[in-house]
Chains A and B, each alone.
Chain A
Amino acid sequence: MQRRLAAVLAGAAAMFAVGRAAAHHSFAAEFDANAPFELTGSVTKIEWANPHTFFYIDVKNEKGQYENWALEMGSPNGLMRRGWTRNTLKIGDVVTVTGSRAKDGSFKGNARSVVLSTGQRLFAGSSQPGAEDDAN
């Protein structure tokens, strides 16, 4: 009976670990440290998830068209350690984000810091090499 239970638990643990590992990636695999950006826009969506939290902002480009950027941050736990709470970002807030753009040129980036609508600046738990020591 114990061996049967162990087998079921081992299977569940393996599936859980594989799912998480597939969603995790190195900074260099997806983002270009030589393509920094600073974007200001209003938040349209927030996803608190492991291993990366994402939020989306609407940015108006020089032609007056809207670009909806997906911005990756650290894990929820890492963000909490940097002063974030689940209520720090709200849909509709206007924020300014610095970070590095995705290599594929899509409207996606790795956020390093976020200036909130209150003026407070928070680090985003970026996976960029050198950002590990970012703190408040």
Chain B
Amino acid sequence: MHFGRKLVLGLLSSLTLLPALAQVGHPAKGSWLGFWGPSETERRRILLDLDWRDRQVAGTINPGPNAVKIDRVNIDYDTWTMTIEADMPLSNGKAAPFVATGKLENLGSWVNRRYSGTYRHGDETGTFILTLN
């Protein structure tokens, strides 16, 4: 084989190798940013910081001084429906169950990945839309 052909082969090998090294883990992993609320006019900012630990998704809602630890995450991999459960304080400070169920969409996209659906927090119900930050 000529040296030139070997060089081309080397270049092609590295073209294959570099993207293979750029794996990023579970599709839900990352920081998800968006809004949630009971109506179109009442929307609140929400940040989910999700990670893949011990073979399951875990994380925090609104990391920082008012962080809420996520108790449970379930994913139906047939429909990519993710349910998040946590005990989150209401506006009066008392904790109430928070359950959000939504679909993970555009999983092939790194810039347009979306998680949207509905939630119940105590007596309040509403919708949420988050995108991967």
Give chain A's interface residues, CB within 8 Å of chain B.
3-4, 7-12, 14-16, 19, 42, 44-45, 56, 58, 66, 68, 90-94
**Docked-complex contact A11 and B133, CB < 8 angstroms:** no
Give A93 to B31 CA distance when docked, in angstroms.
14
Q: Which residues of A contact B62 (CB under 8 A)?
A: 92
Q: A3-B6, A45-B133, A91-B49 are contacts. A8–B31 as well, Cβ < 8 Å?
A: no
**Docked-complex contact A92 and B47, CB < 8 angstroms:** yes
Q: A14-B11, A44-B47, A58-B45 are contacts. A92–B3 as well, Cβ < 8 Å?
A: no
- The verdict on B64 contacting chain A, using a C-beta distance below 8 Å, is yes
Q: How many residues of B contact A (CB 8 A)?
A: 27
- The verdict on B20 contacting chain A, using a C-beta distance below 8 Å, is no
Q: A12-B17, A15-B15, A92-B63 are contacts. A44–B7 as well, Cβ < 8 Å?
A: no
Q: Which residues of B contact A15 (CB under 8 A)?
A: 11, 14-15, 18
Q: Which residues of B contact A19 (CB under 8 A)?
A: 18
Within the complex, what minimum Cβ distance (angstroms) separates A28 from chain B?
26
**Docked-complex contact B133 and A12, CB < 8 angstroms:** no
Give A16 to B14 CA distance when docked, in angstroms.
8
Give A14 to B45 CA distance when docked, in angstroms.
44
